[in-house]
A and B are shown apart, each in its own frame.
Chain A
Amino acid sequence: MATTFTLISSVTVGSGGAANIEFTSIPATYTDLVVKLSARTTRNTGDANSIKVTFNSSTSGYTYKILLGTGSVATSTDQTAFFTNASWGGYANQNTGTTANTFSSHELYIPNYAGSNNKSLSTDSVTENNSSSAYAALVSSLWSNSAAITSITLAPDGFDFVQYSTAYLYGISNA
């Protein structure tokens, strides 16, 4: 059970936008990590934009299962519907298909990130959209790699984060 919840670093995207956000040199002194992401992207088609999550700049070893609610139906899928060079961090609000000035919310939980076993990642995310189409996702991910996680990259797939998107990285200790 977590007994501490410590902010390690945070960032707010500036006026020029950002193709991705990378937390680097993550200390190995915590038990678990949590990322809180508030996002909106520059994508102008569709009504959402996938968020790619990579560890240590690795582009392999990612598998995941997704339970996705669209606002009208619920579906279950896996990485074959998205990509295998990163984990899936849920759908983000995008530029024209979601209510103006709203942002999606994402929480990523990474237990035992500094250990030598494969790394699990659980993600929940929701888009904000005053429309019949809005997404809620639960993602169970595995990164098959024994390395300690020292960096985390969050990227809208093919697009940029817009200004005022934010990411917070927290460390959790069990003692």
Chain B
Amino acid sequence: MPTKLIVDCSTGITTEVELTAEEIAEREAMAAEYAVQKAQEDAAKAAVEEAKASAQAKLAALGLTADEIAAITGA
């Protein structure tokens, strides 16, 4: 069970308390939101990599060497 730390500044006492069902639900919602965001980030990154590989293949097909491709693409 996830817990939170409550620091009572009037006493200096720290208490470890289990999260409520509502707090747990909010955390799970946030985690799910992150999972969606991460999937989108990964998909965007993969698309860029795919486009990059495709461009390099086309340059190679035109007769450029690997060094020449790297020189103009920085990759």
| A1-56 CB contacts (< 8 Å) to partner B | 8-11, 13-14, 16-27, 43, 45-46
Cβ contacts A to B, 19 pairs, < 8 Å = A11-B7, A13-B5, A19-B2, A19-B27, A20-B4, A21-B4, A24-B7, A24-B8, A25-B10, A27-B9, A45-B38, A46-B37, A46-B38, A158-B28, A158-B31, A159-B31, A160-B2, A167-B7, A169-B9
Given contacts A22-B4, A24-B9, A158-B27, contact A45 B35 (CB under 8 A): yes
> Considering the chains assembled together, what is the distance between the CA atoms of A45 and B41 in angstroms?
10
Residues of B within 8 A of A46 (CB): 34, 37-38, 41
- B14 CB within 8 Å of chain A: yes
- A128 CB within 8 Å of chain B: no
Interface centre among A19, A25, A46 (most CB of B within 10 A): A19
- A157 CB within 8 Å of chain B: yes
| Chain B 18-45: CB-based contact to A (< 8 A → 1; otherwise 0) | 0100010001111101110110010000
Residues of A near any B CB (own CB < 8 A)? 8-11, 13-14, 16-27, 43, 45-46, 157-160, 167, 169
- B66 CB within 8 Å of chain A: no
- With both chains docked as a complex, state the minimum distance between the C-beta of A145 and any C-beta of chain B, in angstroms: 19
Residues of B near any A CB (own CB < 8 A)? 2-12, 14, 16, 19, 23, 27-31, 33-35, 37-38, 41
Secondary structure at the A interface, as helix, strand, loop or mixed, is loop
Residues of A within 8 A of B33 (CB): 158
Residues of B within 8 A of A26 (CB): 9
Interface centre among A9, A17, A26 (most CB of B within 10 A): A9
Residues of A within 8 A of B8 (CB): 9, 24-25
Residues of A within 8 A of B41 (CB): 46
Residues of A within 8 A of B16 (CB): 14, 16, 18
Given contacts A9-B7, A46-B38, contact A19 B31 (CB under 8 A): no
Residues of B within 8 A of A25 (CB): 8-11
Other-chain residue from A11, A17, A158 in contact with B34 (beta carbon distance below 8 A): A158
Residue of A with least CB distance to B6: A22
State whether B30 touches A22 (Cβ < 8 A): no
> Considering the chains assembled together, what is the distance between the CA atoms of A157 and B27 in angstroms?
7
> Considering the chains assembled together, what is the distance between the CA atoms of A22 and B27 in angstroms?
16
Residues of A within 8 A of B28 (CB): 158
